[in-house]
Structures are given as C-alpha cells and as structure tokens.
Amino acid sequence: MTMIPITQYAAMHGKAEVTARQMARRGGLRTARKQGRDWMVDSEEPYPDRRRRMREALTREGMEGLDAQERRHELKIAQAKQYSRVGEFHSTFAANWDRIPAELADQLTPEQLGWIVDLLADAYTDGQRHPDYEWLQADGD
C-alpha cells in the first residue's frame, strides 16, 4: 500500500482536488488518512463513481408502485449500501440493516447508516472469533 497526497490521487483520476478532498473528509475514500494538515490516500484505491449505481437503484423494478416516502426510504437504503463495505452482500447488509431502529435510520445520513451496518457486521464477525464462542454455542444447546 503506497500512500500518496490527495492532490496526486485527484490528478490520477482526472478529478478536481477539492472534490477528492471532500470525498476523503466525508469517508468516501476508505484508505484516506489525515497526516498533519494533508490528506493521504492509497494509490491503488479506485475512485468511486456512485452516480451510475444510484441511477440503477432508482430505476430498478418494483419502484414504480411506491409513494414518495417509500421511494426516499429505498433510496436511503441504496445509498447506505454504497457507503457500506458489506453493501454488495445483500443478505449480510439486510440482516444488519434490520437491526437499526427505524426512528434512528430516519435521523441519520446514508453514510452514517453504512458505517453502522459495517460496525454491526464487524461485531458479529468478532463474536464468532471469540475464544469462548464454541463454549457459548455448546452451552446454549
């Protein structure tokens, strides 16, 4: 992993420096780290283009019969999937999304919801790796 300045990263991908910096600040670049006052990012990280996937999410079958509030909800889920590491794993994402109370999901941004889904998935994985996991499973039978 070779970390490069955000200015160089933006130039590599033909993007404006301010756009890449904003994406790093908002968490859109997974490897972006602040070193002093400068942003550094892994040179191998692909530049995410969420526009096409959002367009696909909005036009997929099943959205026709939804009212405006249901469309907003579906769009928020699609956007949260974009920010989540497990967003492409539909059953994993859905299982963790279902653990987020609806009142909380209404208040948070899609980016924050993606982070919460990832945290829940990480907690589950960490729990399975715990040394007492087998003992707890046997005790629960």
State how far the alpha carbon of 136 is from the alpha carbons of 69, 97, 126, 127, 132, in Å. Answer: 42, 25, 14, 11, 6
Question: What is the pLDDT at residue 113?
Answer: 92
Q: Is the pLDDT of residue 105 over 80?
A: yes
Question: What is the pLDDT at residue 54?
Answer: 58
Question: Between 2 and 124, where is the model more confident?
Answer: 2
Question: What is the pLDDT at residue 132?
Answer: 64
Say whether 3 sits in a helix, a strand or coil: strand
Q: Is the pLDDT of residue 62 over 60?
A: no
- Asked if residue 20 lies in contact with residue 13, where contact means CB atoms within 8 angstroms, the answer is yes
Residues in the chain: 141
Question: What is the pLDDT at residue 3?
Answer: 93
Q: Is the pLDDT of residue 85 over 60?
A: yes
Measured in Å, how far apart are the chain's first and last C-alpha atoms? 45
**Average pLDDT over all residues of the chain:** 81
Q: How confident is the model at residue 120 (pLDDT cuts 50, 70, 90)?
A: very high
Q: Please, what is the Cα angle at 24 between 50 and 35, to 5 degrees?
A: 160
Evaluate if pTM is beyond 0.85.
Answer: no
Average pLDDT estimate for 97-112: 91
